[in-house]
Structure 1
Amino acid sequence: MALDLSTLYVVAGLGMLVAGFIHLIPLATGRFGSWAGLWGAGHLIAGCGALMAVLNDRIGLPWAPSIGNPAVVMGYALIAGAVVKFSRPDARLTSMLATAAVLGLPLWFTHDPAHFHLRVAYLSVIRAGFDLVVVIVAVRLARRDSLQTGWIVAALFAVTVPMFLGRAWLAYGDRIGTQLTGRHDDFGAWLAAGQIAFIIFRAFSLLILQAERGQNLLLDQMERDWLTGAFNRAGLDRIAQTFAGRHAPRTLTVMMLDLDRFKTLNDTLGHAAGDAALRTFAEIAHDAVGRQGHLIRWGGDEFVCVLPDVPTEQARVIGNRIATRFAQAMAPRMATHGTLGVSIGVVEGEPDTPIIDLIADADRAMYRAKSDRRQPAVCIPPVYIPDIYIPDVYVPDAYTKAA
């Protein structure tokens, strides 16, 4: 069956023009980042290049290949740059665009009809290269930012890479004829049709990524404490759900942290100073916990650290690090108002234990440590009596594990 590539190229060109305008309009309102401008401009330029190829084959425009082919190269570079910018807004695209300009330079000077097949081969390899860049960046987005639609974008661009390379091979062997458009029934025509189909499908793929990113941002804001950036109880519920199934940790350690004399700080220096202290504590705790666990603001001046597969001895080290750094950070502010310390309670349990029960055990252990901080701790099962840091008092170090 012969394919009418002229019609397909016109559809592809018009589709890319529509996609370009759709991305540029929201950009003008400030709703999208610079990636939308790159994506829109890239599709506009590539779409004009596709339409120019049709006009050249129909009415003969000697200058069309010299302008259209380099424009297509730059259009694909802008599209790839848009995905890079979407992934990393601070990324610089100077080297990518300069490379595209250099790659398009030979096409600017080569318009001999006898070299048609070589131009098609060269251009197809360049397209495959920029599509491969998009695949790599989309996979990183899917893994790093948990954007599941990143896998869709990667698939849409990955499919065209072998298609472009296959068409480049056929063109290099001079097996695609002497025109891009017209009716063709060879394998190269079917490859071209496949490329056009996926180019149209993926024209709006970044909008899907943006929608998922926006949804994730809203969900994250719902699950975060606005003052400290720590998770709130809604965030804790979602974290607890991840501990079920095949990815469940072997053990689960929970640490309760309470700021001592925090009410005194609020009463003497004001609530603004209290808010600043909470933010300072959260920053220190986030840094100490890192990727090992999650920080949750339980309420007021109480925080919870959930540490999957972190043994109690390591949790003790993390707790002491938090308390020490916090005391050091607050010492200049509390010079004439006493010491602001941290009481800590730690328990370790099985991952299938309700997390609320582990938090309750850690809370009892924390209050036990707070009340016994001036004398050696007495360990009463099933409560795990943790280590507590107060700069000017006794630090108990006796431990027992929850039953």
Structure 2
Amino acid sequence: MILDVVTVQIVAAISHFLIGALHLIPGLTREGKHGWARSWGWGKILIGLANGLTLFFDGSNVALVERLLNLMLIVGMALCVRSVALFGRRSPPRILLAMMGATGLGLIALMLLQTTDVRWTVAMLGSARNLCLIAITWLMLGIARREKLFTAWVMGGFFIAATPLFVLHMLFSLLAFSAPAWEQEAQWIADWAAGVGIIVVTLTHFSLLLVEAERNQRELRQQACIDGLTGALNRFGLDRVEESLHGDVTVLLIDIDRFKALNDQHGHAAGDMVLRLLTDLALSELGQRGRVARIGGDEFLCVLPSGTAAEAEALRKALSHRFDRAVIAAIDVSPPPTLSIGIAAGSIEDGLDRLVHQADEAMYRVKRGRQSRDARAAVA
């Protein structure tokens, strides 16, 4: 079966150019903070122009203009690598960057030497394309691994699939030029590898936009679950946590004593600072053992899946102690805010609200006990 490679190349050149142009329109791409869309757009445009204009030559890669187009192609691919690096906030391995630079210098050297051996150009151009694909694959899989994005895994898979196809294209093209006896068969395999590879690469044109869309959706979901002032979970986030809980759960309900007086005397900025301080301390003490949610103005809930009473009591003491010391160091107020913490434990199947109600009753017993001690101390 004969593959019309020229038609495939024409379609690929047009698609690269159009996709590049679309990435340069801010209204359609919502360009990221680091300019990745601009690099991707210019890279695709250069690749499209280089692939399209080379069709007007005989493919010998001897003419100076044709070699300049090959260099343009490498620059376009390098811009695509830069785009993915900016998008993922990582750089490819230095060895890959050095090898990509070496291929570009090699093409420049071929232009200066005026060699007519087309195999050198095929080797340089093929190596540059494959190195760029490897670099993009490495960066894309890094994004998928760090951010756990499904679309990044899919796009990384497409780049993985394209790489061996273009390796085959390069190797069999070299074989076709080196072994006349195998020229027809080798060129047939090279054409098919290039054709399928171009189709696979075409599927990746919108890869960064798709990954960005999933990234933005995840960020929006996270923001919807987070209290904007403190960084703790809000009630919506707490509801989502509750859905994932099973079995026994221990909760700690935290209330800041004398918080209203703090706001009245020192302003809401001081109150906000204390709220953030408590959240940071609670997150530090809990670590990966549980979650912290802000369920009211100065009320917080710590949720410990499978936490024991001893762990909850140790957490209560540590958090109260650290909070007392941190507040005294952070703000000059007398008497300083303190924490009243109530603890409750039970099965989550009976509902989190029931546990919160029990912890609330325990917290008010602690608060009344402290008020009674303070009153006796004042009389004495």
User: Same fold per TM (> 0.5)?
Assistant: yes
Q: Does 1:120 align with 2:117?
A: no
Work out whether residues 66 and 109 of structure 1, in 8 Å CA contact, stay in contact via their aligned partners in 2. no
Q: Does 1:260 align with 2:261?
A: no
- Tell me the amino acid that sits aligned with residue 103 of structure 1: T
What residue in structure 2 maps to residue 236 of structure 1? 238
Deviation, 1:55, is: 2.4
- Tell me the amino acid that sits aligned with residue 296 of structure 1: A
Work out whether residues 83 and 138 of structure 1, in 8 Å CA contact, stay in contact via their aligned partners in 2. yes
Matches for 1:142-221 after TM superposition, within 5 Å: 142-174=144-176, 186-221=188-223
Query: How many Å separate the matches in 2 of 1:166 and 1:363?
Result: 69
What residue in structure 2 maps to residue 339 of structure 1? 336
Range 228-237 or range 124-133, more displaced: 124-133
Query: How many Å separate the matches in 2 of 1:113 and 1:291?
Result: 64
Q: Choose from 278, 284, 289 the match for 1:281.
A: 278
Work out whether residues 19 and 40 of structure 1, in 8 Å CA contact, stay in contact via their aligned partners in 2. yes
What residue in structure 2 maps to residue 368 of structure 1? 365
Question: What SS does the corresponding residue of 1:44 show, helix, strand or coil?
Answer: helix
Q: 1:336 to 1:239 in 2, by over 3 A?
A: closer
Deviation, 1:73, is: 2.7
What residue in structure 1 maps to residue 75 of structure 2? 74
Q: Any unmatched runs of 5+ in structure 2?
A: 181-185
- Tell me the amino acid that sits aligned with residue 344 of structure 1: I
Range 310-319 or range 295-304, more displaced: 310-319
Work out whether residues 13 and 47 of structure 2, in 8 Å CA contact, stay in contact via their aligned partners in 1. yes
Question: What SS does the corresponding residue of 1:331 show, helix, strand or coil?
Answer: helix
Question: What SS does the corresponding residue of 1:368 show, helix, strand or coil?
Answer: helix
Work out whether residues 43 and 75 of structure 2, in 8 Å CA contact, stay in contact via their aligned partners in 1. yes
Question: What SS does the corresponding residue of 2:57 show, helix, strand or coil?
Answer: helix
What residue in structure 2 maps to residue 107 of structure 1? 107
Query: How many Å separate the matches in 2 of 1:72 and 1:166?
Result: 19
What residue in structure 1 maps to residue 183 of structure 2? none
Q: 1:314 to 1:72 in 2, by over 3 A?
A: farther
Q: Cα deviations across residues 362-386 of structure 1 (Å, max 9, x unaligned)?
A: 333333333345899xxxxxxxxxx
Work out whether residues 256 and 359 of structure 1, in 8 Å CA contact, stay in contact via their aligned partners in 2. yes
Q: 1:99 to 1:189 in 2, by over 3 A?
A: closer
Q: Of Structure 1 and Structure 2, which has the larger fraction of its residues in helix?
A: 2
What residue in structure 2 maps to residue 53 of structure 1? 54
- Tell me the amino acid that sits aligned with residue 16 of structure 1: H
Query: How many Å separate the matches in 2 of 1:26 and 1:171?
Result: 40
What residue in structure 1 maps to residue 301 of structure 2? 304
Query: How many Å separate the matches in 2 of 1:176 and 1:3?
Result: 22
Deviation, 1:94, is: 11
Query: How many Å separate the matches in 2 of 1:56 and 1:99?
Result: 28
CA RMSD of aligned residues (A): 3.5
Work out whether residues 42 and 79 of structure 1, in 8 Å CA contact, stay in contact via their aligned partners in 2. yes
Q: Cα deviations across residues 310-350 of structure 1 (Å, max 9, x unaligned)?
A: 54544444444433333222214553421211222334444
Work out whether residues 65 and 107 of structure 1, in 8 Å CA contact, stay in contact via their aligned partners in 2. no
Runs of 4+ in 1 over 6 A off after TM superposition: 27-30, 58-61, 175-178
Deviation, 1:151, is: 1.9
Q: 1:66 to 1:330 in 2, by over 3 A?
A: same
- Tell me the amino acid that sits aligned with residue 290 of structure 1: G
Work out whether residues 224 and 231 of structure 1, in 8 Å CA contact, stay in contact via their aligned partners in 2. yes
Q: How many residues align structurally?
A: 367
Q: Cα deviations across residues 155-197 of structure 1 (Å, max 9, x unaligned)?
A: 221211221222233234347999xxxxx97222111111111
Work out whether residues 334 and 340 of structure 1, in 8 Å CA contact, stay in contact via their aligned partners in 2. no
Question: What SS does the corresponding residue of 1:173 show, helix, strand or coil?
Answer: helix
Query: How many Å separate the matches in 2 of 1:231 and 1:165?
Result: 50
Query: How many Å separate the matches in 1 of 2:136 and 2:306?
Result: 36
Query: How many Å separate the matches in 2 of 1:32 and 1:324?
Result: 44
Query: How many Å separate the matches in 1 of 2:58 and 2:248?
Result: 69
Deviation, 1:105, is: 0.9
Identity over aligned residues, as a percent? 32
Question: What SS does the corresponding residue of 1:186 show, helix, strand or coil?
Answer: helix
Work out whether residues 74 and 101 of structure 1, in 8 Å CA contact, stay in contact via their aligned partners in 2. no
Query: How many Å separate the matches in 2 of 1:177 and 1:21?
Result: 41
Work out whether residues 250 and 344 of structure 2, in 8 Å CA contact, stay in contact via their aligned partners in 1. yes
Deviation, 1:219, is: 2.3
Q: 1:369 to 1:196 in 2, by over 3 A?
A: same
- Tell me the amino acid that sits aligned with residue 114 of structure 1: D
- Tell me the amino acid that sits aligned with residue 294 of structure 2: R
Q: 1:276 to 1:336 in 2, by over 3 A?
A: closer
Query: How many Å separate the matches in 2 of 1:370 and 1:43?
Result: 66
Work out whether residues 52 and 64 of structure 1, in 8 Å CA contact, stay in contact via their aligned partners in 2. no
Query: How many Å separate the matches in 2 of 1:299 and 1:136?
Result: 45
Work out whether residues 17 and 48 of structure 1, in 8 Å CA contact, stay in contact via their aligned partners in 2. yes
Q: Cα deviations across residues 100-159 of structure 1 (Å, max 9, x unaligned)?
A: 33331112223644333x533443344333323333333333343342222222122121
